Structure 1
Amino acid sequence: MINKTSEEILEFLSDFSYKDDEDYLTLCREVLSLQKETQLSTKALQKMTDYRIISSSTLWSNRSHLEHWDSANKEVFNLIQSNNSINHTSAKKLNFLLTNNENNERVDEIFAGPWKYLEFEFLSLAKERFENEVLTLSDPIQKAIEVYIWLINLHPFKDGNGRTARLSADLLLLQSGLLPLCFNSNISSFVGNLIGAQKVSKKVCVLRTLDAIKRPYEIVRGG
């Protein structure tokens, strides 16, 4: 099946039916168990940091992107220390630090090859739903997953959307005592449904992101 309209993408985003799925619940339990059992060393955390960079072609291919990534990561910890969470203002600040562009909010369509992200005319409605349906979630794991998926699909900025989505989810995870996202590859980090492209189910995107929440524990325990 092919995505044909922005309405279909909004329907995909607002699908929370996976929350009672046994695959999802089992993986959540595994993450929480690993959180309790894992002792973190400086060496292990550095190993995880390296993996996070390697999995992003944007980061390891450009030194200036790495410097911006470091600045944005510092802002994540500043937000944690000041007891602030993710919202439009903090996401915009993270995006600015990642791109060095103050006027980076998108004002028209964004394409990925022959495919198109959520159309601009639907962006305001999507942001409103994001605030009402996602930022109000109480479970930190689900909230981090949804924040990541929604920001990828909304593509609210001209550039740096993937990195902004990761750090926004990281902020929520770190605030709950969890490790930040670590995808296996740039491909595995993609959870978008684009107009003209094959549909991907919400459950697949959720489990893919949940795997990235579990993976850092596997890395540090192996290190």
Structure 2
Amino acid sequence: MTDVILPVLNESAAIPWVLGRMPPGLTPIVVDNGSTDGSGALAARLGAQIVHEPQPGFGAACFAGLRAATADVVCFMDCDASLDPGDLARVLDPVERGAADLVLGARRPVPGAWPAHARLLNAGLAFELRRRAGVPLSDLGPMRAARRAPLLDLGLADRRFGWPLEMVLKAAAAGWRVTEVPVLYHPRVGRSKVTGTVRGTARALRDMTEVLAA
């Protein structure tokens, strides 16, 4: 079995689609990060394991899910219908075969799925990862897979939007084999808390800049 950690903040419109497409053998862990639209209760009715994380922040939600997971291998993905759980098998495969330690889904957007300002930020971060850590990534994708115990041992400390970047940087520093596989990226359901606005993107850039500086 594999646990799939899904950080959630007001994603009730997307949750049925995401959970309905979860492949057999994958256990969804929905981390409700303070939703006011009934996301947690809806996910519970649909059979997901629910974790409530009162500390706000994307990293806080991801870390709470990681602590709650029990499977040897864990996945992370957004729960806004921008990513298809059907692609998780492709991301999982190199980890399960022992060919890689951390695998990211490199987003291949369909038309209208990725605002220009967010794509520009992502390209800059991927460049910095290649330059600083030597990891062959084109995208700091939110769909990813790794083994749970080594991931906990990395000691990830960021609890905001720097979490995805810190994971890759610390994995590379620890000598992990980091790679990516292509996954489709669709327009999300509802408004993004990060890429949907310039302000949200700026907040993510601030958090990630702090991680790079550290």
User: TM-score over 0.5 for the alignment?
Assistant: no
Larger Rg: 1
Higher share in helix: 1
TM-score scaled by structure 2? 0.31
